[in-house]
Chain A
Amino acid sequence: MALFIVRRLIGLVVVLFAITVLTFLIFFATPGVDPTRSLAGRNPTPETVAAVRHQFGLDRSKPEQYLLMMKRLFISRDLVSYGNQALKVVPAITAATPVTFSLVIGAAVIWILLSILTGVLAVVLKGSIWDPLLMIVALIGISMPVFWLGEVANLITQDRLHDTFLFSWVPPLGYTPLTENPWQWFLHLIIPWLTLAALYVGFYARVLRANLLDVANEDFVRTARAKGLSERRILTRHMLRTSMITFVSLFGLDFAVLVGGGALLTEVVFGLPGVGLLTYRSLQSLDLPVIMATVIYGAFFITIANAVVDILYARLDPRIRPT
């Protein structure tokens, strides 16, 4: 087990290093693209370009540039935005992280509860019209672009039905920190949570239903029936528990991807100042250092989360440990 962890950690370090190199190459060494173009403003004079190149160290060799960039990103943490040199990239990301976590954790709670409910209902109601109906709704949920669903939600809750009793409680778009006012925090996030969760409810409900139906033919379920257990107990204690294995491993991945940048579109539509919105703002001005930093942050988060999940899994299930 200790050997497995050590190997997994060495692999992790190698992947993290490769991620920084690849990201650096994409941003600063793509053939045909001059990174100074975007940082010297519109129609720059050759002198400005040269000055900016020198300031950001872009007149040095590529390996030197890489080391300089990584030093400013991880050690001195003073990498600044091209467009707005007062904006320090690393503190900006740190400040935005709680917003992203608030959004993703709340949505995750909703999607897990709703998808278990939907998946189990579909299995219980199999054979009636409700099962295909629920699955069609789930499929529609999967097929919607999240940013579009968010806009429709805004249209309804902020404008068309905002003056009715239904949605008059919805505050204007934006964010209030949990530490400042928990109730406002909750009110600001409830519509974004539901929007972000919609896609995952559909997907998880479908996976859970398929899994439950697979498990239904297993020997241990037959044994449980033969023992005379009630259907409810078989479903919750035996079938659902086994199906949770797939469910949990999927969840780990999706959660990491969302925190690592996947929630960007939801943050943009609802004006939540998380890491995604930070990336989006820099996209508008093609501010390469900020985008590069958020990409590396996201990829790091996902890779580290995957490693942690792997190690936990290996601890729980000896079969997974590779030799």
Chain B
Amino acid sequence: MAEFAYEPEPASVGLAPGESIREFAGKSPWRLAGRRLARNRVAMAALALFVLIVAVSFAAPLYAKHIAHTDPFANNLNGTTVVDGKTVEVLQQGGGPLKLGETPIGPTWHANYFLGADNQGRDVMARVLYGGRASLLIGIGSAVLACLAALFLALLAGYFRGPVDVFLSRLMDLIWAFPIFLLAISLATVLLTAPDGLQWGPVHVDPSSLWIPTLIIALVYVPYVYRPVRGQVLSVREKEYVEAAVAQGASSLRLMFSEILPNVLTTVIVMLPLMIATTILTEAALSFLSIGVQPPQASWGTIIDDGQDLLYSRPWVAIAPGIMIVLTVLSLNVLGDGVRDALDPRAKLRLKG
């Protein structure tokens, strides 16, 4: 590290310890960051794990149809399955410790009912995969939406300053003042009181639509991205190259989107994986409280909620989706650390997990 101490640094991407300037001369900051990330084995392993989880979750229909041969959204109260050559009922009479009522079948560790069934006799493994699809769609969707909205608003506020900035920043402060969780709960409860879905002008939103949790979660996290990005826009706006563009007669749009935007994008990209990790946890919590994803859709959170009643008799119903959440969020947190180190080795930017 010391031997490079007196070498100049590239302007936007600092050198990480142990890197030589010659290696990187003439390459774009994005390529440098990409190479640095690719060399980070831990981050790459995390990325591989995340991609694997995404792939497996999106293959849920294939699994249900070709491997498990079940429909994980249809009740199967009187169904049977074959274990070790014997036909057994999916919902067994008096299977629990009290020998009362019905207990769904436990893990068979075979293709059909691999992790057992839930209270409705539905295949838990297939539901966990389908649930992953919903959780990932909502998590990624809301994080991306929150980042895009925050980026746009921060550009407006930081570029125009004055009343626009005051208005937007006060609005963000107000959302920020709310506990995220309570704000999400309020919005979700209120939207759920419309049992026939919502009608806003020509747009109809079904109550079980994944858009409702996606938009709610996106909204509550906008200020968390807005604040740091606005600060950056304000400082980038004072840079000489922006002044040069102004002198050339560049329009406001051009200044915002081709001069300022590329220079604040790194902040957003560093935040994105950590945001997805956070939004996935938020979605799981809302769904666990039954105000997130609504039936017939399922997500990891709703499956854990379903598994609560079966916790002591069939713990896998609640444990399996939780393990998936932990693996997903863990991989995103590790990847996020890697992206941060790659894009900005000296940054101290951190997002609360």
Residues of A at under 8 Å CB distance from B? 15, 18-19, 22-23, 26-27, 30-35, 37-38, 139-140, 142-145, 147-149, 151-152, 154-155, 158-159, 199, 202-203, 207, 210, 214, 257, 260-262, 264-265, 268, 279-280, 283-284, 286, 288, 291-292, 294-295, 298-299, 302-303
Q: Is B210 an interface residue (CB 8 A)?
A: no
Measured CB to CB, the nearest residue on chain A to B332 is A143
- Complex Cα distance, B195 from A262, in Å, reads 27
Q: How far is the CB of A259 from chain B (nearest CB, A)?
A: 10
Please state if B281 and A145 are interface contacts (CB–CB under 8 Å).
yes
Bound-state CA distance A154–B284 (Å) is 19
The contact sample of 27 A-B pairs, CB cut-off 8 A, is A15-B174, A15-B177, A18-B174, A19-B177, A22-B174, A26-B187, A27-B186, A30-B191, A32-B200, A33-B191, A38-B193, A139-B333, A145-B281, A145-B285, A145-B288, A148-B326, A151-B318, A152-B322, A210-B350, A260-B182, A268-B289, A279-B185, A283-B289, A288-B193, A291-B185, A292-B186, A299-B179
Per-residue CB contact flags for chain B residues 291-320 toward chain A (1 = under 8 Å, else 0) read 100000000010010011001100100110
In the assembled complex, the Cα of A27 lies from the Cα of B281 at a distance in Å of 25
Q: Residues 270-296 of chain B: 1 if any A CB is under 8 Å from the residue's CB, otherwise 0?
A: 000000010001001100111100000
Q: Which residue on chain A has the smallest CB distance to residue B304?
A: A148
Cβ–Cβ contact B304 & A147, under 8 A = yes
Which residues between 139 and 184 of chain B lie within 8 Å of chain A, taking CB atoms?
A: 173-174, 177-179, 181-183
Give the interface size class of chain B.
35 or more
- Those 10 A-B pairs whose CB atoms lie nearest each other, nearest first: A148-B322, A143-B329, A142-B353, A143-B330, A32-B198, A159-B312, A295-B182, A38-B193, A261-B182, A298-B182
In contact, A26 and B190 (Cβ under 8 angstroms): yes
Closest B residue to A37 using CB positions: B193
User: Are the CB atoms of A283 and B291 closer together than 8 Å?
Assistant: yes
- Which B residues are in CB contact (< 8 Å) with A279? 182, 185
Contact call B322/A151, Cβ cutoff below 8 A:
yes
Contact status A37-B194, CB under 8 Å: yes
Docked-complex contact A286 and B173, CB < 8 angstroms: no
Task: Give the residues in chain B near A199, CB-CB below 8 Å.
Answer: 353
- Asked if A265 meets B285 with Cβ closer than 8 Å, knowing A148-B304, A148-B318, the reply is yes
Given the known interface contacts A33-B193, A145-B325, the answer about A151 and B177 at a Cβ–Cβ threshold of 8 Å is no
**CB < 8 Å neighbour of A203 from B186, B329, B353:** B353
